[in-house]
Amino acid sequence: MVIPYSPLPDIKNKIVLAPIVPVTLYSKDYSFSTFALVDSGASGAVISIVIAEALHIQWNKLPALSGFSVGGTFRSRPFEKLSVEILENTFPLRVRIIEGIAPYKCILGQADLFQRAKITFEAYKKQFSIEFRQYN
């Protein structure tokens, strides 16, 4: 499916287009619909504490780990009991819950979406495509 790039949220005075896809995250009896940045440079999925709290995840009781990214160092908390629905495809999702990742509240990376689908970025057309693999 071809998806046009969308403006990034929370950026003032400038429109920045990026590969963003609608997602619904599920944890036990709770769900949360949002938009996720599809990031080929991210090693895995991350969500903000805002999303974790909406899913009733007690993130502050999870062990904190240190990490680093282009933006600097951060603390994250691993959580493995989520599932995600993307374009009518649902699968388990391991995430790291990170404080202060605005403007991105949810990021999908290589260890999750990229293992399940072929992603083709066409920045010159301001679009990308996602083709999910078929499992037997």
Structure tokens at 116: 């399940």
| Dist. CA 125–CA 13, nearest whole Å | 23
| Dist. CA 14–CA 79, nearest whole Å | 34
Number of domains in the chain: 1
Structural domain contains residue 12: no
Structural domain contains residue 15: no
pLDDT at residue 26 in the model: 97
Structural domain contains residue 107: yes
Structural domain contains residue 54: yes
pLDDT at residue 105 in the model: 86
- Which position has the higher pLDDT, 136 or 40? 40
Concatenating the DSSP letter of every residue in 21-65 gives: EEEEEEETTEEEEEEEEE-TT-SSEEEEHHHHHHTT--GGGSPPE
Is pLDDT of 103 > 60? no
Structural domain contains residue 16: no
Structural domain contains residue 64: yes
Q: What is residue 102's three-state secondary structure?
A: coil
Q: Kindly report the CATH number assigned to the domain that includes residue 74.
A: 2.40.70.10
DSSP 125: G
Indicate the Cα dihedral angle 116, 83, 41, 102, nearest 10°: 150
Structural domain contains residue 66: yes
Residue 42: count other Cβ atoms within 10 Å of its Cβ. Answer: 19
Give the H/E segment covering residue 115.
helix 113-116
Structural domain contains residue 108: yes
pLDDT 10s digits, 120-135: 999 999 999 999 988 7
pLDDT at residue 104 in the model: 64
pLDDT at residue 66 in the model: 73
pLDDT 10s digits, 27-75: 999 999 999 999 998 889 999 999 999 999 999 899 888 766 656 667 8
Confidence of residue 85 (pLDDT cuts 50, 70, 90): very high
| Dist. CA 62–CA 97, nearest whole Å | 9
| Dist. CA 23–CA 84, nearest whole Å | 7
52: containing domain: 2-7+21-132
pLDDT at residue 11 in the model: 64
